[in-house]
């Protein structure tokens, strides 16, 4: 069929007739409306329609003629299809008839089988119910027989009640598994069974209470088995625990009730009728009675807690030992399921919460109770420790005792706020005597021995009170650290650091600042010594506190070091005058301080001796600081020896007479230092290596140059001193002393040595040698230079 419109169709609009929603009435009305509006004449519209119809008819005719053969083939196919449909229809009809026949044959037997099955199920249910009824009546009969035996005797045994409980348990299981509703013979027995169950339950509960009261584990175990048999074990154990906790809460509340305490104090008073309102804190005259009443009540509370705890521990132990015979699960595991923890853990958890709650409420109600418990926190801890010790002594502890420490920590947490308050008060108590002793301002004065004794007494008292608990000891030890640090800070602020505090020149008496510092250091040392002695009684906190005590020593050192350094510098300044002495020729004899050194002692040594005596009289004699003071004296003496050796080793030229003169100076130096040391209970031998070096230097002066490298003679002499002496022995135009090479004075050289290391001064010594010059010129090196190289190689490993 062609899709091309003929020429007339080009003028006809067919689209409107092809719409799926085309409505002839709507089209006719639209055409009429257009005609009435004058847009189109209706006759023209009708003519167009008529023409279109004729045209379409003609086109259809042409299509039929064109496709005539195809249309005939379609008609033949339709006829064949009609025959096929008839055959299918007949087959469907036959199938329906077969299905109806089959349904008739199957439905009737199925209905019968279904009815028979229902009857069988109902019969089986009835038989099972009758069997259960029979079993129920049989168990009831057994129960009645057992009850009759109990009623015929005065008192039943625990075994008999256990047997009755087992029977009741069987009835409970049977009633739970089967539905006996409407069966009169069973329902008539239920009130009787409930009555017996209640009787057995009450007997078991009474037996449990009596067994726990008398600590009869056999009776407790029997009561638990009875309750377990009637399926009330977990509920009754939980109720028993809750009742104990409730009674304890009431005991704690009543024990700390302000009104009750005031009434007790008033009744126990001296007959005076209190004209005060109840619930108000005590007046000062009644404070002692209040305190005694509070602690008495706390002891009662702890005793009650101890008794209750004993009950819980015994109950848990028996629960752990008893097991369900069917599944071997312990009774304790069954109870733990509903408590989310063990019985003892549950008890301590709830008790600590209630205890803390009641303490806080009582403290809010009375500031005096708060003050009493805070101030007497160690006593409160003692009550706790006595309580736990009593539990352990009585053997009332959890499984293997593993929960004991946890319970103690839980209860400690309930009173942690009082520990915090006690700790704060402890710091305050220790700060007060420190602030009183170490005063600041214009009227400040050094602490007296009484002040220091008071500080030590307070600290010792705090430690003694805290001995009841290791954790409290640690807390107080930390407070002591704070207090001692505070004391160190106060002492440092009290020390005088103006120029007069460290002035040692001249021959005048010590200044006010120096005297104040000596008194302050003396007080600090007394505190330091007293604290160490006190700490011997408290070894548990030794490591914690010892460092802060040692800080006191550092404070002493910081105050005294500038003065000691100035004393050393003053003595060194005097010794530097040795460089003005002539050791190259004999000297005229002069009056000397030491009889044996007379005719040999140098003037600078005489001046040194006088300065040393001055310092001993004005300053060093005040070093009455025990071993610390002795160490300072030894430190000054060692510095004197080293500094003198350093200066003496550089005396050049040095004749035989000069060596004798140095020997006389050594003798006088030993004499002066020995006097100083003797006044402080020391001797020259205690100066150690420095004194050995001095004695060795005396012998070294008279050795041959070749012997100076022998360790037998010079091992005690410091290497630098020995090197100086070897250089001194060389011709003056060959080897120079290090400071001469740089144009330094002896004082500058000494200061340089103090500020630099051994490696650096070895390099300085090497700079004085002519190694390179000798190699380049081919000249033979000086013997002294060879000795220096040998010593440096042997003692320091320096290669040339």
pLDDT digits (tens, 9 = 90+) for 702-755: 988 888 888 888 889 999 999 999 999 888 667 889 998 889 999 999 999 999
Contact of 227 with 315, CB cutoff 8 Å: no
135 in a structural domain:
no
Long-range contacts of 340-347 (CB under 8 A, 24+ apart): 342/316, 342/398, 342/403, 343/237, 343/241, 343/312, 343/315, 343/316, 343/319, 344/312, 344/313, 344/316, 344/398, 344/403, 344/407, 345/403, 345/406, 346/241, 347/241, 347/244, 347/245, 347/309, 347/312
Mean pLDDT of 74-95: 82
pLDDT tens profile 768-781: 886 555 555 555 67
pLDDT at residue 280, rounded to an integer: 53
Please indicate, yes or no, whether residues 357 and 452 belong to a single structural domain of this protein.
Answer: no
Please indicate, yes or no, whether residues 464 and 432 belong to a single structural domain of this protein.
Answer: yes
Please indicate, yes or no, whether residues 641 and 499 belong to a single structural domain of this protein.
Answer: no
Secondary structure letter of residue 650 according to DSSP: T
Please indicate, yes or no, whether residues 393 and 283 belong to a single structural domain of this protein.
Answer: yes
Average the pLDDT over each of 151-165, 537-551, 556-570 and give the range with the smallest value: 151-165
pLDDT at residue 39, rounded to an integer: 60
pLDDT band at 279 (very low <50, low <70, confident <90, very high): very low
14 in a structural domain:
yes
Could you tell me the end-to-end alpha-carbon distance of the chain, in angstroms, rounded to an integer? 126
Q: Which of 639, 691, 687 is nearest to 666 (CA)?
A: 691
Query: From the centroid of its chain, how far is CA 43?
Result: 110
Please indicate, yes or no, whether residues 536 and 582 belong to a single structural domain of this protein.
Answer: no
pLDDT tens profile 626-671: 888 999 999 999 999 999 999 999 998 888 999 999 999 999 999 9
Please indicate, yes or no, whether residues 390 and 528 belong to a single structural domain of this protein.
Answer: no
397 burial via Cβ count (<10 Å: 0-12, 13-18, 19+): buried
Please indicate, yes or no, whether residues 632 and 761 belong to a single structural domain of this protein.
Answer: yes
The domain spanning residue 472 has which CATH number? 1.10.357
Please indicate, yes or no, whether residues 384 and 366 belong to a single structural domain of this protein.
Answer: yes
Dihedral, CA of residue 114, residue 118, residue 121 and residue 125, to nearest 10: 180
Q: Which of 529, 424, 541 is nearest to 477 (CA)?
A: 541
| DSSP string across 489-524 | HHHHHHS--SGGGS---SSPPPPHHHHHHHHHHHHH
- Asked whether residue 273 carries a pLDDT value surpassing 80, the answer given is no
Q: Report how many domains make up the chain.
A: 4
pLDDT band at 594 (very low <50, low <70, confident <90, very high): very low
Domain of residue 438: give its range: 423-562
Please indicate, yes or no, whether residues 769 and 681 belong to a single structural domain of this protein.
Answer: yes
pLDDT band at 282 (very low <50, low <70, confident <90, very high): low
337 in a structural domain:
yes
pLDDT at residue 272, rounded to an integer: 45
pLDDT tens profile 204-215: 899 999 999 888
Query: From the centroid of its chain, how far is CA 719?
Result: 54
pLDDT at residue 43, rounded to an integer: 79
279 or 371, higher pLDDT: 371
Tally Cβ neighbours within 10 Å of residue 143.
22
756 or 107, higher pLDDT: 756
Average the pLDDT over each of 5-14, 708-717, 786-795 and give the range with the smallest value: 5-14
pLDDT tens profile 497-545: 899 999 998 888 999 999 999 999 999 999 999 999 999 999 999 999 9
Here the tokens at position 98 are 């077969």
Mean pLDDT of 197-202: 88
Please indicate, yes or no, whether residues 555 and 567 belong to a single structural domain of this protein.
Answer: no
Here the tokens at position 220 are 């407790």
- From 507, 536, 562, the end of a domain falls on 562
- From 380, 414, 448, the end of a domain falls on 414
Mean pLDDT of 46-70: 83
pLDDT tens profile 228-242: 888 888 999 999 999
Here the tokens at position 269 are 């008073």
Cα distances from 38 to residues 13, 47, 70, 458, in angstroms, run: 20, 17, 49, 127
Here the tokens at position 94 are 């036959």
Please indicate, yes or no, whether residues 479 and 613 belong to a single structural domain of this protein.
Answer: no
- From 385, 414, 443, the end of a domain falls on 414
Please indicate, yes or no, whether residues 540 and 568 belong to a single structural domain of this protein.
Answer: no
Whole-number mean pLDDT of the chain? 84
Residue 330 bridge partners (DSSP): 323
104 in a structural domain:
no
117 in a structural domain:
no
pLDDT at residue 398, rounded to an integer: 44
pLDDT at residue 698, rounded to an integer: 93
- Asked whether residue 112 carries a pLDDT value surpassing 80, the answer given is yes
Mean pLDDT of 577-593: 68
Percentage of the chain exceeding pLDDT 70: 89
3-state helix, strand, coil in the chain (%, to 5): 75, 0, 25
Mean pLDDT of 295-322: 90
pLDDT at residue 400, rounded to an integer: 39
- Asked whether residue 758 carries a pLDDT value surpassing 80, the answer given is yes
73 in a structural domain:
no
Average the pLDDT over each of 39-48, 425-434, 477-486 and give the range with the smallest value: 39-48
| DSSP string across 258-325 | HHHHHHHHHHTSSS----S-TTSPPPGGGHHHHHHHHHHHHHHHHHHHHHHHHHHHHHHHHHHH-B-T
pLDDT at residue 250, rounded to an integer: 92
Average the pLDDT over each of 75-89, 417-431, 576-590 and give the range with the smallest value: 576-590
624 in a structural domain:
yes
pLDDT at residue 523, rounded to an integer: 94
- Asked whether residue 463 carries a pLDDT value surpassing 50, the answer given is yes
H/E segment holding residue 158 = helix 158-177
Q: Give the three-state DSSP class for 330.
A: strand
Contact of 266 with 374, CB cutoff 8 Å: no
Here the tokens at position 207 are 């037996």
pLDDT band at 271 (very low <50, low <70, confident <90, very high): very low
46 or 720, higher pLDDT: 720
């Amino acid at each position: 069929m062609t899709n091309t419109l003929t020429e007339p169709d080009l003028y006809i609009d067919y689209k409107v007739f092809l719409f799926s929603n085309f409505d002839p009435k709507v089209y006719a009305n639209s055409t009429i409306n257009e005609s009435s509006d004058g847009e189109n004449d209706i006759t023209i519209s009708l003519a167009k329609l008529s023409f279109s119809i004729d045209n379409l008819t003609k086109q259809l005719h042409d299509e039929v003629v064109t496709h005539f053969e195809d249309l005939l083939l379609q008609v033949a196919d339709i006829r064949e299809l009609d025959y096929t449909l008839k055959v299918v229809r007949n087959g469907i009809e036959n199938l329906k008839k077969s299905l109806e026949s089959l349904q008739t044959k199957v439905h009737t037997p199925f209905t019968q089988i279904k009815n028979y099955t229902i009857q069988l199920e109902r019969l089986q249910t009835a038989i099972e119910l009758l069997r259960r009824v029979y079993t129920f009546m049989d168990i009831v009969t057994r129960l009645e027989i057992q009850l009759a035996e109990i009623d015929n005797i005065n008192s039943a045994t625990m075994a008999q009640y256990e047997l009755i409980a087992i029977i009741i348990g069987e009835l409970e299981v049977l009633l739970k598994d089967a539905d006996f509703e409407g069966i009169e013979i069973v329902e008539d027995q239920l009130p009787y069974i409930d009555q017996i169950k209640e009787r057995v339950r009450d007997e078991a509960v009474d037996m449990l209470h009596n067994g726990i009261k008398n600590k009869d584990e056999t009776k407790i175990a029997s009561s638990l088995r009875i309750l377990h048999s009637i399926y009330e074990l977990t509920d009754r154990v939980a109720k028993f625990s809750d009742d104990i906790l409730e009674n304890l809460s009431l005991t704690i509340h009543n024990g700390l009730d302000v009104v009750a305490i005031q009434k007790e104090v008033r009744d126990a008073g001296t007959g005076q009728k209190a004209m005060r309102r109840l619930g108000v804190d005590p007046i000062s005259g009644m404070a002692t009675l209040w305190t005694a009443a509070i602690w008495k009540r706390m002891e009662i509370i702890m005793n009650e807690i101890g008794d209750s705890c004993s009950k819980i521990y015994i109950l848990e132990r028996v629960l752990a030992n008893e097991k369900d015979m069917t599944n071997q699960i312990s009774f304790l595991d069954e109870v733990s399921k509903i408590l989310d923890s063990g019985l003892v853990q549950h008890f301590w958890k709830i008790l600590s919460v209630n205890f803390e709650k009641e303490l806080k409420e009582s403290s809010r109600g009375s500031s005096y109770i708060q003050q009493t418990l805070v101030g007497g926190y160690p006593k409160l801890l003692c009550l706790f420790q006595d309580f736990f010790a009593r539990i352990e002594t009585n053997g009332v502890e959890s499984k293997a005792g593993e929960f004991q420490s946890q319970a103690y920590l839980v209860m400690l947490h309930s009173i942690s706020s009082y520990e915090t308050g006690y700790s704060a008060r402890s710091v305050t108590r220790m700060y007060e005597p420190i602030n009183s002793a170490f005063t600041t301002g214009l009227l400040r004065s050094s602490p007296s021995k009484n002040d220091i004794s008071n500080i030590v007494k307070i600290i010792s008292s705090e430690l003694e009170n805290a001995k009841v608990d290791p954790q409290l000891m640690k807390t107080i030890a930390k407070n002591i650290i704070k207090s001692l640090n505070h004391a160190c800070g106060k002492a440092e602020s009290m020390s005088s650091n103006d120029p007069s505090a460290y002035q040692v020149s001249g021959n005048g008496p010590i200044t006010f600042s120096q005297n104040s510092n000596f008194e302050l250091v003396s007080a600090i040392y007394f505190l330091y010594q007293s604290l160490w002695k006190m700490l011997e009684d408290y070894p548990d906190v030794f490591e914690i506190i010892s460092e802060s005590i040692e800080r006191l020593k550092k404070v002493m050192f910081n105050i005294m070091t500038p003065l000691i350094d100035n004393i050393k510098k003053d003595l060194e300044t005097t010794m530097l005058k040795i460089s003005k002495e002539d050791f190259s020729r004999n000297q005229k004899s002069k009056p000397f301080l030491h009889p044996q050194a007379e005719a040999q002692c140098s003037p600078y040594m005489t001046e040194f001796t006088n300065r040393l005596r001055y310092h001993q009289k004005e300053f060093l004699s005040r070093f009455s600081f025990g071993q610390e003071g002795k160490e300072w004296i030894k430190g000054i003496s060692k510095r004197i020896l080293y500094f003198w050796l350093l200066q003496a080793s550089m005396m050049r030229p040095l004749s035989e007479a000069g060596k004798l003169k140095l020997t006389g100076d050594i003798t006088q130096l030993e004499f002066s230092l020995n006097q100083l040391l003797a006044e402080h209970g020391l001797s020259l031998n205690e100066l150690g290596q420095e004194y050995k070096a001095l004695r060795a230097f005396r012998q070294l002066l008279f050795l041959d140059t070749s012997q100076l490298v022998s360790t037998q003679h010079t091992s005690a002499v410091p290497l630098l001193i020995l090197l100086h002496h070897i250089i001194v022995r060389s011709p003056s135009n060959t080897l120079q002393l290090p400071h001469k090479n740089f144009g330094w004075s002896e004082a500058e050289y000494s200061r340089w040595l103090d500020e630099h290391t051994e490696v650096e001064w070895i390099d300085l010594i090497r700079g004085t040698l002519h190694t390179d010059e000798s190699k380049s010129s081919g000249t033979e090196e000086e013997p002294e230079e060879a000795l220096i190289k040998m010593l440096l190689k042997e003692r320091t490993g320096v290669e040339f």
